[in-house]
């Protein structure tokens, strides 16, 4: 696999823009056919850094301008006008090279809703075979899990006392236990499954792209930015590229496929003159194809961090002190073990905000130390924290051009809590979380609440606190959604409505955000659409089966 900075000669069947979670999958699957020529184009660098591959070092690429696009959203109108950093991966593997590595498929009803609303072939029974095909689960192959796929999925060890206290406190509160939340019921407490194998991150670059290195029909081009899609007579024919002051064009004989992500793909569409006509004109872009849904329907999981102190139990924060980090790194280099081999998100839960919810609409992620991920460099302190997220928000945001300069980041507004029901669900989940944190397993450790804190009592006070601290889970989806209505951007196979030879395959086409950290669903979507592109029969539908 030539990974190169110099432009290759000749044309390709497929040009894939973006070597992230979806793009690496497509490049690997499409080049399984030796007659198919593919060029995968990524503006970022190769994934050579140890900080990419060492799970515990995940904050370093997030803090880096090399690996993180560093988008900023807002002002958010319902979060006191605050701006919020939005981390998106830049480089081979994309966001799968900088994320928290938590592996969640989602609730079956997430996908059944897609089909109910007109997307034939996207029920959970249609998706399950692809979830299975892409994984090798350390628990072994069974009717619901894959055992020989590219991605290695492991269970976390969860052997710190704080992890145990989290699980036991949840049980004391009344939550069930989900032994395998990616098989059968998602609801309840769980030990987290992660894209980590042998102590190393399993990005899609590691799992899909690198094993395709021997294929002469795959070229990976790094360091070049796609500025616009080339259109001729209603057909996408190629892309205009730029590296510094150097410009070039590459041609696609069959399709241009955008896999630049929920922010990158609509941004490139708009720069290419594909989107809402009035907005394009006001931004100084020539209208090539009026498509009003481009950049709309933006969704994310809002997160609130509840922080606590504990006495009598040594915090992991002591082990993560600056003077200990060289030792952690050396141990990881020599053994691929120790604290360097974990992302620390080793336990969690999915639960209902109330008896009328109908499904597990809230999520807990948990850290056995205090970490501020939002203000500049990550700061670590003693204690523990619950991350509370709402899984199926009704609020919708948007992405728009600020101007016609490709180097100018777009305007992004998630519009969190625009829908009053979203605020009510978060407040209900917050009240339950505080109750869980008061259970005996935490009291035995002297756990005391720092935030929201004892001064926050009423729902009005809690809502004011939420508006002041609410933040992103870095799970954006939906800005080029699949569908058949006037605001849909693609059909159920990712083909852009009204144009030939242009397809989108990434998180932007998800019509609704799933009950999941979104990396697994995005990889599944890429696996499934790769079969469509190759003209293969979809894998046979399969219902979840009870595990005995």
Residues labelled as active-site residues? 475
Name the residue among 546, 537, 517 with its Cα closest to residue 130: 537
Q: How far is CA 421 from CA 418, 425, 547, in A?
A: 9, 6, 36
Question: CB neighbours of 456 closer than 8 A, spacing ≥ 6?
Answer: 462, 465
Phi, psi angle pair for 363, to nearest 5° = -130, 140
- CB-CB neighbours of 522 under 10 Å: 30
Matching residue, tokens 């130390």: 369
Name the residue among 465, 469, 448, 447 with its Cα closest to residue 457: 465
- E-assigned strand segments in 45-150: 71-76, 82-86, 135-137
Q: Which two tokens mark 417? A: 């809590």
Matching residue, tokens 């290419």: 272
Conformation bin of residue 519: beta by default, left when phi > 0, alpha when psi is -120 to 50: alpha
Matching residue, tokens 């979806």: 22
Return the SS3 of 171. Answer: helix
Question: CB neighbours of 537 closer than 8 A, spacing ≥ 6?
Answer: 531
Distance, CA of 212 to CA of 77 (rounded, Å): 46
Rounded to an integer, what is the distance from CA 527 to the centroid of its chain?
16
Distance, CA of 434 to CA of 345 (rounded, Å): 19
Q: What is the DSSP string of 299-352?
A: B--EEEEEEEE-SSS--HHHHTSGGGHHHHHHHHHHHS-GGGG--S--EEEEE-
Return the SS3 of 141. Answer: coil
Question: CB neighbours of 216 closer than 8 A, spacing ≥ 6?
Answer: none
Q: Which DSSP letter does residue 205 get?
A: I
Return the SS3 of 276. Answer: coil
Name the residue among 72, 73, 68, 71 with its Cα closest to residue 95: 68
Distance, CA of 384 to CA of 368 (rounded, Å): 5
What H or E segment, with its residue span, contains residue 39? strand 38-42
Q: Which two tokens mark 28? A: 């690997």
């Amino acid at each position: 696999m030539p990974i190169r900075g110099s432009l290759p000669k000749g044309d390709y069947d497929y040009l894939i823009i973006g070597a992230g979670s979806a793009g690496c999958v497509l490049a690997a699957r499409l080049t399984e056919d030796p007659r198919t020529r593919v060029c995968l184009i990524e503006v970022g660098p190769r994934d050579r850094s140890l900080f990419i591959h060492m799970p515990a070092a995940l904050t370093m690429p997030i803090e880096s301008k090399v690996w993180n696009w560093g988008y900023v959203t807002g002002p958010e109108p319902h979060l006191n006008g605050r701006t919020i950093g939005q981390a998106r991966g830049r480089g081979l593997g994309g966001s799968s090279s900088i994320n928290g590595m938590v592996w969640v498929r989602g609730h079956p009803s997430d996908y059944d809703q897609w089909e109910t609303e007109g997307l034939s072939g996207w029920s959970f029974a249609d998706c399950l075979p692809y979830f299975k095909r892409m994984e090798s689960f350390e628990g072994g192959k069974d009717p619901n899990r894959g055992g020989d796929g590219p991605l290695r999925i492991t269970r976390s060890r969860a052997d710190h006392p704080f992890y145990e206290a989290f699980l036991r406190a949840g049980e004391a509160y009344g939550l069930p236990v989900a032994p395998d939340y990616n098989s059968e019921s998602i609801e309840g407490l769980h030990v987290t499954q992660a894209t980590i194998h042998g102590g190393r991150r399993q990005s899609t670059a590691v799992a899909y792209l690198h094993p395709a290195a021997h294929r002469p029909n795959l070229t990976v081009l790094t360091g070049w930015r796609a500025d616009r899609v080339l259109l001729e007579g209603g057909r996408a024919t190629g892309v205009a590229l730029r590296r510094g002051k150097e410009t070039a064009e590459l041609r696609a004989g069959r399709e241009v496929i955008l896999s630049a992500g929920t922010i990158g793909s609509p941004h490139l569409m708009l720069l290419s003159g594909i989107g809402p006509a009035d907005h394009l004109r006001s931004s100084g872009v020539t209208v090539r194809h009026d498509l009003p849904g481009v950049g709309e329907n933006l969704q994310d999981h809002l997160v609130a961090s509840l922080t606590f102190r504990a006495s009598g139990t040594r915090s992991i924060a002591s082990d993560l002190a600056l003077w200990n980090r060289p030792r952690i790194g050396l141990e990881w280099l020599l053994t691929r073990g120790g604290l360097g081999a974990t992302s620390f998100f080793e336990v969690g839960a999915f639960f209902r905000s109330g008896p009328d919810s109908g499904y597990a609409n809230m999520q807990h992620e948990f850290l056995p130390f205090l970490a501020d991920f939002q203000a500049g460099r990550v700061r670590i302190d003693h204690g523990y924290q619950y991350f509370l997220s709402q899984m199926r928000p009704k609020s919708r945001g948007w992405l728009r051009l600020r101007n016609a300069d490709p180097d100018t980041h777009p305007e992004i507004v998630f519009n969190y809590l625009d829908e009053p029901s979203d605020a009510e669900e978060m407040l209900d989940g917050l009240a339950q979380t505080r109750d869980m944190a008061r259970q005996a397993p935490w009291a035995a450790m002297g756990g005391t609440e720092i935030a929201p804190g004892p001064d926050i009592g009423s729902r009005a006070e809690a809502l004011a606190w939420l508006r002041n601290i609410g933040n992103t889970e870095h799970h954006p989806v939906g800005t080029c959604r699949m569908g058949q209505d006037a605001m849909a951007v693609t059909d159920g196979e990712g083909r852009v409505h009204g144009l030939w030879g242009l397809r989108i395959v990434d998180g932007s086409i998800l019509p609704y955000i799933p009950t999941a950290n979104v990396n697994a669903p995005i990889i599944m979507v890429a696996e499934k659409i790769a079969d469509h592109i190759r003209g293969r029969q979809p894998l046979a539908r399969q219902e979840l089966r009870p595990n005995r």
